[in-house]
């Protein structure tokens, strides 16, 4: 089924009227996508949504967790340009994916500015794992002193892990765990991707989003077709 993009003004408001299917859908979106932030002695909200609710919304949706900020939330696609899709939470936090790669964030504690990627990046331009290159380069940018902020040019190499079965919003996926090891510019980190061996889509991932923001966990509950 083709999944739609929702306008930010609609996502961030509840239904304007109590009647009609559209009003019910926006009310459901507002209720289900409410951000979950834990207090100092509380667990992070599960930010759960059922498959029936996803089908009723008929929208592309992801779940994001920022462990260092104790934040776990759902977000709907609200803007797309090519394979670059921006997702918005009800509290106006934004995360942008290029393919399955987190290339920008805003409002998650520490922003990640738009990243530079190469055309052979297998996460930004999804490829089945057996076609991944040995290594690629990326440049990460974060705000900092001066107009250009801070940047990290890293070289990333890959290794394949086990086949892993994951469950997202009641659907099961058989994936290949791919390990991405990156170093450069004084930074070193390891990303994990759980990848569809046929399409290359990373259904679930743990990705570095800068030295201050740390890692983000991303789950694709319903992709944008």
CA dist 54 and 170 (Å) reads: 11
How open is the CA angle 152-105-88, to the nearest 5 degrees?
165
Non-local (6+) Cβ contacts of 42 within 8 A are none
Residues in the chain: 225
Asked if residue 108 is part of any domain, the answer here is yes
Structural domain of 198: 22-222
Task: List the chain pLDDT tens, one digit each, 225 residues.
Answer: 445 566 544 444 433 333 344 444 445 555 555 555 544 444 445 688 999 999 988 889 999 999 988 899 999 999 999 999 999 988 889 999 999 999 999 998 889 999 999 999 999 999 999 999 999 999 999 998 777 789 999 999 999 999 999 999 999 999 999 999 999 999 999 999 999 999 999 999 999 999 999 999 999 999 987
Asked if residue 12 is part of any domain, the answer here is no
Asked if residue 138 is part of any domain, the answer here is yes
Asked if residue 13 is part of any domain, the answer here is no
pLDDT of residue 61: 94
Whether 74 and 47 have beta carbons less than 8 Å apart is answered as: yes
Whether 29 and 14 have beta carbons less than 8 Å apart is answered as: no
Asked if residue 192 is part of any domain, the answer here is yes
Question: CB neighbours (10 Å) of residue 164?
Answer: 14
Composition of the chain by helix, strand, coil, percent to 5: 15, 50, 40
Q: List the CATH number of the domain containing 48.
A: 2.40.360.10
As a dihedral over the C-alpha atoms of residue 202, residue 204, residue 210, residue 214, rounded to 10 degrees, the angle is -160
Asked if residue 17 is part of any domain, the answer here is no
Non-local (6+) Cβ contacts of 217 within 8 A are 64, 65, 67, 204, 205, 206
Q: 202 exposed, middle or buried (CB, 10 Å; 0-12, 13-18, 19+)?
A: buried
Total structural domains within the chain: 1
Asked if residue 9 is part of any domain, the answer here is no
Asked if residue 26 is part of any domain, the answer here is yes
Whether 182 and 195 have beta carbons less than 8 Å apart is answered as: no
DSSP-assigned letters across all residues of 78-115: EEEETTEEEEE-TT--EEEEETTEEEEEESSSS-BEEE
pLDDT of residue 2: 44
The structure's pTM equals 0.84
CA dist 52 and 185 (Å) reads: 45
DSSP 70: T
Whether 138 and 189 have beta carbons less than 8 Å apart is answered as: no
């Amino acid at each position: 089924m083709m999944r739609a993009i929702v306008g930010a003004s609609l996502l961030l408001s509840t239904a304007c009227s109590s009647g009609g299917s559209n009003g019910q859908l926006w009310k459901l979106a507002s209720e289900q996508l409410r951000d979950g932030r834990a207090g100092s002695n509380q667990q992070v909200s599960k930010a759960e949504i059922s498959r029936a609710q996803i089908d009723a919304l008929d929208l592309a949706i992801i779940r994001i967790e920022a462990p260092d900020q104790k934040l776990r939330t759902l977000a709907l696609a609200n803007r797309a340009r090519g394979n670059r899709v921006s997702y918005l939470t009800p509290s106006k936090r934004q995360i942008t994916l290029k393919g399955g790669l987190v290339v920008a964030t805003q409002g998650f504690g520490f922003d990640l500015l738009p990243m530079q990627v190469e055309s052979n990046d297998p996460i930004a331009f999804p490829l089945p794992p057996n076609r991944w290159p040995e290594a690629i380069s990326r440049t990460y940018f974060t705000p900092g002193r001066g107009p250009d902020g801070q940047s990290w040019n890293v070289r990333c190499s890959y290794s394949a892990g086990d086949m892993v079965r994951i469950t997202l919003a009641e659907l099961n996926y058989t994936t290949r765990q791919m390990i991405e090891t990156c170093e450069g510019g004084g930074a070193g980190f390891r990303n994990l991707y759980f990848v569809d061996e046929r399409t290359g889509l990373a259904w679930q991932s743990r990705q570095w989003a800068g030295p201050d923001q740390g890692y983000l966990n991303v789950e694709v509950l319903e992709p944008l077709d």
